[in-house]
Amino acid sequence: MAETKKLMRALAGEVMDVPPVWMMRQAGRYLPEYRATRAQAGDFLSLCYNPDLAAEVTLQPIRRYGFDAAILFADILLLPQALGADLWFVTGEGPRLSTITSMNEFNALKGVGDIDEVLSPIYETVRILARELPAETTLIGFAGAPWTVATYMIAGRGTKDQGPAHKLMAENPAVFDALIDLITKGTIEYLSKQIEAGAEVVKIFDSWAGSLKGEAFTRYALEPAKEIITALKARHPNVPVIAFPREAGDKYIGFARATGADCVALDNSVSADWAATNVQVDGCVQGNLAPDHMVTGGQALTLETKRIVKAFSKGPHIFNLGHGITPDANPDNVQIMIDAIRG
């Protein structure tokens, strides 16, 4: 039963002495078993689209550490690919996509009704995980938020300041708004299908939310999140949603209320004490240990982990990092973190 799972209890608002814990990018290059499976797959995208191998790498950190949740192994750029963008990965440099900067390029994309043809292997991965995960482990599905996904589709790659997307927003708002709307509607369908396949919680990653200021944040981070969450709640009223508007700063305040999110994930640019006072008042929060502690370890890791647990101890809390664990992290430090949380 879902309500016996620690992560689900925290998302329902329960305050626990020992918070549930998982990590962003917990299936990743810091683990030797992941690197072996990825080599077997051949390349990153082949791993994402191979349900057996994608399920295997999702399960690896659960076997090793006993995390309270598993997050589907996939990538936020699979949706743009399903919408008709070309996607490839350059070793050592990251993703590349065909760009959308004009109405002609936008009109060449596919419709939302066409995405399942490409994404069906992802749903199969979810079905395998729903069968194979331990009974106490919650399965999290996810997608990128419209703004973050759009920044890659517009620039064709990750950029330092999301400049190309800001430029298109200012110079060709018709194309920009059409793209945001298409991604929003595609994300609703994609997450809904993950839920139908067995995801118990879904998370919306807005990795570049922090570069949206003022009204732009409301229009392109908050409002699309609200649209997605409202639509998902109408279809799947009992499935919690975690929102992660990374580096939102003061905009974290009230984000859960404004969007309907059951939990707000916090990056490590805000302090746990500040977030407990200003964000946790609205419900569950997730976070927010700095990922570099997974590299450096030592007593600082244990002390900071315990400090964060204490700061959030008066309300519902899911322990996590403030961003994804990095490839240079020491797997032993993950266990030190878990031991500090679980005592």
- pLDDT of 81 strictly over 80: yes
Q: Which residue has the tokens 């609205």?
A: 282
In order, the DSSP letters of 118-152 are HHHHHHHHHHHHHHHS-TTPEEEEEEE-HHHHHHH
Q: Name the strand (E) or helix (H) holding 272.
A: helix 272-278
Q: Nearest-5° angle of CA 16, CA 55, CA 342?
A: 20
The rounded distance, in Å, linking the Cα atoms of 317 and 312 is 6
Q: Which of 219, 52, 95 is nearest to 147 (CA)?
A: 219
User: Is the model's pTM score more than 0.85?
Assistant: yes
Find, among 43, 121, 115, the residue nearest to 84 by Cα: 115
**pLDDT tens digits for 96-155?**
999 999 999 999 999 999 999 999 999 999 999 999 999 999 999 999 999 999 999 999
Predicted pLDDT at 75: 98
Per-residue model confidence (pLDDT) at position 92:
84
185/113 Cα distance (integer angstroms): 10
pLDDT by residue (tens digit) across 277-291? Answer: 999 999 999 999 999
Tell me the pLDDT of the chain averaged across its residues. Answer: 97
pLDDT, average across residues 17-28: 98
Taking a C-beta distance cutoff of 8 angstroms, is the pair 125, 115 a contact?
no
Percent of the chain with pLDDT over 90: 98
Which residues participate in catalysis according to the annotation? Answer: 25, 29, 38, 75, 152
Residue 2 pLDDT class (50, 70, 90 cuts): very low
Q: Is 198 left (phi over 0), alpha (psi -120 to 50) or beta?
A: left
